[in-house]
Amino acid sequence: MDNNNKSAYDQRKRRIHDIIQIGNKYDFWSRFFDYFIVTVIISNIAAAFLETFDELSDYFVMFTAVEAVTVCIFCVEYALRIWTADILYPKKGRVASRLRFLCSFDGIVDLLTILPFFFLSGFIVFRMLRVVRILRLFRINSQYDSFNVITTVLVEKRNQIVSSVFIIIVLMLASSLGMYSAEHSAQPEAFQNAFSGIWWSVSTLLTVGYGDIYPITTVGKIMAIIIAFLGVGVVAIPTGIISAGFVEQYTKKQHSAEKLSDISEVGEVLISADSPICGLTVAEAEECLGMRVLVVLRGELTVVPVAELKIIESDIIIIKSDKIEKTSV
């Protein structure tokens, strides 16, 4: 392949990659592809759902046809994502980038949404994984990726969450053994073993209370009252930790926005990992900031700020507004 053909080939591959990735709202075909895939996914799920109704047996052939067509579209999309994986992971080689995509969350979900049609038609749980694909398309890029906020909170608070889950497990085991000891003699058919106590303790601690197993002895009832109160408090612990994490992330975002609002005329902005514009394209960053990006300094390079260029961590962007100030966001 000569240089001209190779250049045209690379341009076509990059263009296809830009289209099939989560859409740039400034790119018509990319946004069109997003809406098209959402429609295909919803049609596929609807066909699989309607196939469970015996009353609609006359339409089963149509539902099967819809599912077959949509799965073919999924296969084409999956093949294109594998083909363009070296653009998605530019620091890896062609083979390594494809293996990286195949082992990624998106790659595994894509594969699991295709295989059941051919090999695991009875495994409806795998087919329902198609819903996960929709989540990749609804990213909020105005200032922050909403799913990234959730991930950040869970990672930052992982130690506290693990500790709270450990407390729940200890209390669950203790209450199950205690209830088994108190109730086994009175109702051996309900509390046959410690596992029966675990089922009761889980439904009680999580405040579900199915009522299929319950204490009848005085000691068991007293224990149940205490455990029920403890369950309300214990379940609230991880909830409070995660809520506090969201508040912290929101506060960081507000502080970053305040830093940006202080910049005017021409200024330098050092992009940090938690910056509200980190990961956005130049066009999206300009809309977010209400300022014009004049140049992007990336390491030793001076990059022309074209609309599709993504701003990454450690970039220094020169922006134009009302006054000069040097800051870091």
Q: Is the pLDDT of residue 173 over 60?
A: yes
What is the percent of the chain where pLDDT is above 90?
A: 5
Q: How many CA atoms within 13 Å lie on the side-chain side of 130?
A: 29
Those residues whose C-beta lies under 8 Å from the C-beta of residue 70, and which sit 6 or more positions away, are: 40, 41, 43, 44, 47
- The predicted-structure confidence for 262-307, as pLDDT tens digits, reads as follows 545 667 788 877 777 888 888 888 877 777 888 888 877 777 788 7
Residue 31 to residues 63, 234, 247, 284, Cα–Cα distance (Å): 27, 45, 32, 14
CA 217 from centroid of its chain's CA atoms: 47
| Domain span(s) for CATH 3.30.70.1450 in the chain | 262-328
Locus of tokens 């800051």: 327
Long-range Cβ contacts of 27-33 (<8 Å, 24+ apart): 27/308
Closest among 273, 216, 279 to 249, alpha carbons compared: 273
Q: Is the pLDDT of residue 145 over 70?
A: no
CATH class of the domain comprising 158-253: mainly alpha
Classify the phi-psi angles of 323: left when phi > 0, otherwise alpha if psi is within -120 to 50, otherwise beta. beta
For 35, the token pair is 């809406």
Q: d(Cα 327, Cα 137) in Å, to the nearest integer?
A: 33
Locus of tokens 């000891």: 181
Domain 3-138 falls under CATH 1.20.120.350? yes
Q: How confident is the model at residue 255 (pLDDT cuts 50, 70, 90)?
A: low
**Superfamily designation of domain 262-328:** Regulator of K+ conductance, C-terminal domain (3.30.70.1450)
- Size of the chain, expressed as the number of residues it contains: 329
Q: d(Cα 47, Cα 66) in Å, to the nearest integer?
A: 7
Region 233-241: what's the mean pLDDT? 83
Q: What is the pLDDT of residue 323?
A: 44
- The predicted-structure confidence for 62-81, as pLDDT tens digits, reads as follows 998 998 898 899 899 999 99
Residue 211 three-state SS: coil
| Domain span(s) for CATH 1.10.287.70 in the chain | 158-253
Closest among 240, 227, 312 to 269, alpha carbons compared: 312
Q: What is the pLDDT of residue 141?
A: 43
Concatenating the DSSP letter of every residue in 297-311 gives EETTEEE---TTPBP
Those residues whose C-beta lies under 8 Å from the C-beta of residue 182, and which sit 6 or more positions away, are: 215, 217, 219, 220, 223
| Domain span(s) for CATH 1.20.120.350 in the chain | 3-138
Max CA pair span of the chain:
87
Q: What is the pLDDT of residue 62?
A: 93
Instruction: Yes or no: say if 154 and 104 are a contact pair by the CB < 8 Å rule.
Output: no
Strands ordered across the beta sheet of 326-328: 301-303, 292-298, 316-320, 266-270, 326-328
Region 7-34: what's the mean pLDDT? 80
Judge if pTM exceeds 0.85: no
Q: How confident is the model at residue 324 (pLDDT cuts 50, 70, 90)?
A: very low
Dihedral pair phi/psi, residue 21, rounded to 5°? -75, 170
Q: What is the pLDDT of residue 146?
A: 59
- The predicted-structure confidence for 97-141, as pLDDT tens digits, reads as follows 899 989 987 788 788 778 777 765 555 666 666 666 555 555 434
